[in-house]
Chains A and B, each alone.
Chain A
Amino acid sequence: MNDSYRNPFSGINAGTLDDQAILDYWCSPFAYRLFSEIKETDIYEDPNNIVLLGGRSTGKTMFLRYWSFPVQLKLANQNKDSKSRKIIDYFKEKKGLGFYIRIDGPILRSFNGSGIDSAKWNSIFTHYFELIVGRNYIEAIKKFYESDELNMVEVENHFIPEVKTILNAPQIVSLDELLKEFDSRIKEVDLFRGNVPFFKTDFIPSKGGFASQSLSFGIPKIAKKTISEFKESINFILLIDEYENYLEPQQRVINTLLRFSKNEIRFRIGMRLEGFRTFNMISEDDFIKEGREYRKAVFEDVLIKSKEYHNFLKEVSKKRLESVKIFKEKGKSDITEFLSKSEDLEKEALELVAKNPEKHFSHFKKSLKDSDIDAIKFKENPLLELLNILWVLRGIPANEVKAAMEDYLKGNTTGEKVKKYHMDYVDKYKLSLMFLLCSIYRKHKKYYSFNTFSFLSSGIVGNFIELCRRAFQYAEFENKDLLIKEWKIPKEQQTKAALDFSEAELQQINRIESYGGFIHKFINNIGNIFRDFHKDDKIRYPETNQFSTDIDNLTDQKFTDAMRAAIKWSVVQKKPTIQQPSPGKHLKDIYTINRIYSPSFQISYRTRGGYSVKLTASDIVKLMTEENVSSKNYLKQISDESENPNTSLNLFDYI
């Protein structure tokens, strides 16, 4: 039995999956209405270029690869229902062929330096990019040709001769030779990149260089002109991944292609948020603009408004669980069975206080009368006891608090007090009370359940998968029988997984290519400030974990750039709609820190809205450049702003 187990959540990088695995693991985001900006048919049909934005592991690569020719070809073959129907008809119905282009970061970064000036590198890169794209086209056409999907005469007598003319390679007579020619030209660039650090020589391509568009637009044009199957209805879709890795001059080359893209050639570009290094084109005085050269679709929605995201994660998990023999055989493909559906806060609170069930009363002893304490005790639920304390501290007589609690427990919903009590407990404070209880008992909050992991993932599918991977890893190591016989992962192991991943992600911030140090300091500081909000004994602003600022008006551009880098890496997430930072305040952009950091700072994994910590330009600079910034000034904001006469102006003054 043990041999039939492996961690279902290992192997999360879509870039490393083979074409079949892409199909096996594919969960259509359209089926769950995750994007409002695009619909499925837009991928091949929309004449606009589309930029797909999202943080690391949001599924961009999976998405782009799914629409690529090799994966769709597999799908077409799997779905082929009759021998007479041609494969190319599948693509004609879809109205497009997708060409997945991923040039890895180390290659892109090598087109730089070694004493060669930027303009020359730009020409070399353009030549290289054209070859890479051109080769992709030829490979696809060759696949169709070899499967007798295309007219042989058209390909051999018209298509190949026209392409070999552009290539200046008159000896070529077949698609195989064309491919070899592309490979040899690409190798020529690779060899140059390998030698230039030692010899500082110029790049002189043996058969001439390719200018922008010559192959990327040129070959589709020839294909449409010479091959009847391509004449109508098939668009050439360039699926460019990891655009944020392209250096600024390289983005200018591609941006220019976006501007001049033809009807039959469309771009679908995947990149991180803020992944454009420039909007400029090759010509210095021209630029691309959203709504004109492209429209965008966002893959990362921090608010996760709909339940569909949770259902999507269940579907992703189901596919992974079913790929493991033991789970498939036993029909265990529901992730909520392993993690539990949601937290049981009452149980968690009881476990927390078990050894010292009255510590929360002694914590507030200076502010409570003994008779009040006796009245509001309810040892079956420490969270209700804490809520009762809160009410008494706010000036409500203990006997009234007790009555409201008893009505609530009986399910009696008539009367203002019990309604308010119900609302305070269920809708408003329950999780905050748990955090406060943990703070009083100096214990860690537990992070467990499918619901919690979904929230912690911050709209990033890869984060959810990694949380599950670590939870299954701990479960396998610590109690495998429970995992493969009872299908359970205890909340302690889930919590370890969440804490580990949170810490690892926090540490990773330092490694961010640009401004990693600034961002790391900022997150540590703001995380600790949020933590102090969660420790507020009066819970005046429950679950505060967002801030408002105007990043375009920071005094120094580098801090604006640092904040943009934080967004690009999904360390900070911008809330999609403008909202008031606090009731009655001016409109500003609101940001949250990625919820995956919540376990590290012991703060809420939800973003409720409500209060935002206001950060001025000088606050941002301070938080980015200083260690261990005191939260005092930020906590003072809530004291100063508090309109509730029952609320003390000083935090913790009654302890």
Chain B
Amino acid sequence: MKKFIYEMELVSAEVIKKDSFDIFLLAGGSDYRAYEILRIMKSEDVSINKILLFAFQERIQGIDTSDAYYNYLKIGFSNILPIHCSIKEPNSCLDGLISLESEILTAKKIALDISCFTKPFFFYLIKLFKERFKIHRITVFYTEPQSYLFPRGIFSSYRSSTGPLTILEIPGFTGYEARGDKRVLVILLGFDGDLSKEINEDISPSETLVVNGFPSYAPKFKDISLIANEKLTSDKDVQIIFSKANNPFDVFNLLESIKNKKHNDRPFINIAPLGTKPMALGVCLFALYYPEVRVVYPLPETYEKITTDNCWNSWRYLIPLNELR
């Protein structure tokens, strides 16, 4: 990874029309941005051999075909194969993917749109592609929302999830702790202040660092996240640092610098990617490069069906899985 000069581009018709993919993976969802990349690809006539749509039972329950979830049917691709699975169990998709193993192994170009995947799920998929299918390189797409939904004012009412929370290790990202060492927790801040507090208590680190997305998608977002997480950030021992909200490679470098700085203490590093998905992608790459690092995440009972509004920029990131050890 260190030798690799990263590639990230703003998606435009000019950029995307040169693409073609053997396999394209995306998550079904009711958010407006769920199928934005697919729409652009269709409009630019990008060739895709097979589209794997991850159909989460939790998102399909209780909706009918008029729901925005089914908008993918109107885009015009006919080669869409649903992979039935559950948000709560990322490896529930394993059997579906193993049945396509030969196609995956021979695919030269694989793309993953993370816009509507939950973070644990796309972490799982990326590791699965790297470790089990030995894929060397994937293209990751992400569409930024124009705004997030704040039902009762912007500073404390954003909820990406509802109901009870369980703090879990992301499957496959358990890390390994040298006993007796210091525990460091790095939290990439999101807007949902309950989550960071809960994770900090559950992990009980000797040191907590919080990373705020800056520059953020919109100027106010960086302030909202700090205020929403006031209980954690006001603690005297918590350090706040910044990293670009849409750049996974920036996050990777930041995490690496933290790791290097703390090298002498040999801490057990725990990371909670609660911020943007590109930032979480950076965490995923970092944890694949340094498998001793643990990634933790709060799994709610239910996710909100819609948390964002409209689309903003879309990004394309080239991920060299073979460089991640």
Contacts and interface: CB of A to CB of B under 8 A. Distances in A.
Contacts of A11: 235-237
A107 B172 contact: no
A263 interface: no
Contact of B167 (A105, A187, A515): A105
Contacts of A105: 166-167, 202
B164 A197 contact: no
Nearest to B299: A109
Chain B interface helix/strand/loop/mixed: mixed
A187 B132 contact: no
A131 to B, nearest CB: 9
A514 B165 CA distance: 9
Contact of B176 (A7, A191, A510): A191
A104 B175 contact: no
Interface stretch (B65-73, B87-95, B99-107): B87-95
Interface string B193-222: 010001011111110100000000000000
Contacts of B300: 511
A178 to B, nearest CB: 12
Interface string B27-49: 00000000000000000000000
A198 B91 contact: yes
Contact of B173 (A132, A194, A514): A194
A633 B55 CA distance: 46
Interface residues of B, number: 47
Chain A interface helix/strand/loop/mixed: helix
B162 interface: yes
Interface string B161-190: 011111111011111111110000000000
B176 to A, nearest CB: 4
Contact of A513 (B128, B164, B178): B164
Interface stretch (A13-21, A88-96, A413-421, A592-600): A13-21
A205 interface: no
Nearest to B161: A511
Interface in A105-133: 105-107, 109-110, 113-115, 132
Interface in A6-48: 6-7, 10-11, 13, 15-16, 18
B164 A139 contact: no
A113 B92 CA distance: 10
B178 A106 contact: no
Interface string A509-523: 011111111000000
A109 B171 CA distance: 11
Given A11-B236, A507-B194, A510-B162, A194 B175 contact: yes
Given A106-B169, A114-B171, A198 B176 contact: no
A18 B235 contact: no
A10 B237 CA distance: 9
A102 interface: yes
A512 B132 contact: no
Contact of A109 (B166, B179, B204): B166
Interface extent on A, as a size class?
35 or more
A200 B89 CA distance: 14
A511 B164 contact: yes
A190 B174 contact: yes
A202 to B, nearest CB: 16
Nearest to B230: A473
B316 interface: no
Contacts of A13: 200-201, 204
B179 A513 contact: no
A457 B176 CA distance: 38
A285 B77 CA distance: 58
Contacts of B323: none
A510 B124 contact: no
A198 B128 CA distance: 6
Given A183-B178, A197-B124, A106 B168 contact: yes
B132 A199 contact: yes
B131 interface: yes
Contacts of B178: 183
Interface string A555-583: 00000000000000000000000000000
Contact of A107 (B128, B132, B169, B198): B169
Given A10-B235, A13-B200, A511 B172 contact: no
B313 interface: no
A104 B272 CA distance: 15
Contacts of A190: 174-177
B38 to A, nearest CB: 27
A491 interface: no
B291 interface: yes
Contacts of A508: 194
A105 B91 CA distance: 20
Interface string A498-536: 000000100110111111110000000000000000000
B301 interface: yes
Contacts, number: 116
A375 interface: no
B179 A7 contact: no
Interface in A145-201: 182-183, 186-187, 190-191, 193-195, 197-200
A417 B231 CA distance: 52
B239 interface: no
B177 A113 contact: no
Given A15-B204, A511-B198, A110 B169 contact: yes
A114 B169 CA distance: 13
A209 B80 CA distance: 46
Contact of A510 (B132, B163, B236): B163
Nearest to A188: B176
B91 A197 contact: yes
B166 A513 contact: yes
A106 B205 CA distance: 13
Contacts of A132: 179
A193 B295 CA distance: 13
Contacts of B169: 106-107, 109-110, 193
Contacts of B179: 132, 135, 139, 182-183, 186
Contacts of A113: 89, 91
Contacts of A199: 132
B244 interface: no
Contact of B171 (A186, A197, A510, A514): A197
B177 A7 contact: no
A516 B128 contact: no
B255 interface: no
A195 B173 CA distance: 9
A451 B298 CA distance: 36
B234 A106 contact: no
Contacts of B201: 13, 15
B176 A109 contact: no
A198 B132 CA distance: 7
Interface centre among B162, B165, B176, B206 (most CB of A within 10 A): B176
A198 B131 contact: yes
B167 A511 contact: no
B251 interface: no
Contacts of A107: 169, 174
Contacts of A507: 194
B288 to A, nearest CB: 11
A7 B202 contact: no
B204 to A, nearest CB: 3
A-B pairs, top 6 by smallest CB distance, nearest first, are A15-B204, A190-B176, A197-B171, A516-B164, A194-B174, A197-B91
Given A102-B204, A200-B94, 10 more contacts: A13-B201, A16-B205, A16-B206, A107-B169, A114-B171, A135-B179, A139-B180, A194-B291, A511-B163, A511-B164
Interface of A: 6-7, 10-11, 13, 15-16, 18, 102, 104-107, 109-110, 113-115, 132, 135, 139, 182-183, 186-187, 190-191, 193-195, 197-200, 473, 504, 507-508, 510-517
23 contacts: A7-B236, A10-B236, A15-B201, A16-B200, A105-B166, A106-B167, A106-B169, A114-B171, A132-B179, A183-B179, A186-B177, A190-B176, A193-B174, A194-B291, A195-B172, A197-B171, A197-B172, A504-B231, A511-B198, A513-B164, A513-B165, A516-B301, A517-B163
